[in-house]
Amino acid sequence: MSQIPPDLLEFMETLRPPQGVNPADLLTKYDELMNGNPPPVAATHDKVLLREASGWQLTADISVPFGNGPHPVLVYFHGGGWTMGSPKTHLRVGREFAAAGYLTINVDYRRAPKHRFPAAFDDCVFATQWAAENAARYGGDPKRLAVGGDSAGGNLAAAVLAECSQKGTPKISAGVLLYGVFDYHKAMSVLGSDEPTKQFYLPNDQYESLRNDHRISPISTCTKFPPCYIGVGTKDPIYPESPALAKALAAAGIEHDLHVIEGAPHAFFQLPPLPAYAEGYKRAIAFLDRHLK
């Protein structure tokens, strides 16, 4: 852990930035560590317009693998507490999956507090359907479709799985759920944000009425999920969310791989100096390969 700057490590182990530090500024400060020198890919298409909604241009950065397609497709939703982050803060994540052979569609969904729920959820569902209909234009195979995300993006990815598994379309073959929030209200309680005005994602007047809504807490409707890789570290403050989801999937008889890395903090898929970084990608990609290649 000594290779990670102390202030960044403190943030990832507590999800609270050092006193007086804006978390977005902290991530900008260490952007080179998290995104510098990403693995090469065959091509990139930045800010591809998917649609316009409520004055927001829903775009995605698309990374194309080397080799002859069509490639399996991963629609990816970045983390950032539903309030910050973008495909650019998660550039290296998208490139890692693309370098492993996956056409990766990194989605720039609407963020709170300006755009509260269900804006981000609606964008992610739309982007998944868009990928099913348009991935072939970029060398993707929409019949081999996965969704993934980290932290708040893990919540959104699981919510998309819940929504699409209920509707039956588009067909999603696998999920990659990285240290996500799967029971929103329980996670907010752990983080000390268990009152409407302490969180920024849900409309305050709907906070209670949305308990157990699968769009917020997808663990409540996971019985038809596709196979899922679930990655988390033991030093993540929302660690309990991941084994809880794995337990629910096991009860439903759904194949999954709960990958717990001892001593890893939140966001280790963005921290290349950590051994957990390489270990996480190796296992997540092996899981995807089993189900999509």
Q: Which range among 20-24, 139-143, 242-246, 257-261 shows the weakest confidence by mean pLDDT?
A: 20-24
In tens, the pLDDT along 95-137 reads 999 999 999 999 999 999 999 999 999 999 999 999 999 999 9
Joined together, the tokens standing for residue 284 give 């997540």
Catalytic residues: 151, 236, 266
Place of tokens 């930035």: 17
Assigned CATH topology for domain 6-292: Rossmann fold (3.40.50)
pLDDT at 3: 87
Phi, psi of 196 (to 5 degrees): -50, -45
For residue 16, give the 3-state DSSP assignment. Answer: coil
In tens, the pLDDT along 182-225 reads 999 999 999 999 999 999 999 999 999 999 999 999 999 999 99
pTM, two decimals, is 0.97
Percent of the chain surpassing pLDDT 90: 96
pLDDT-derived band at 1 (thresholds 50, 70, 90) equals very low
Q: Of 41, 162, 181, which is closest to residue 106 (Cα–Cα)?
A: 41
Residues 6+ apart with CB under 8 A from 232: 178, 179, 239, 241, 242, 243, 258, 259, 260, 261, 264
When the pLDDT of each residue in the chain is averaged and rounded to a whole number, the result is 97
E-state strands within 71-219: 71-77, 103-108, 140-150, 174-178
Q: Is the dihedral of CA 79, 83, 86, 91 positive or negative?
A: negative
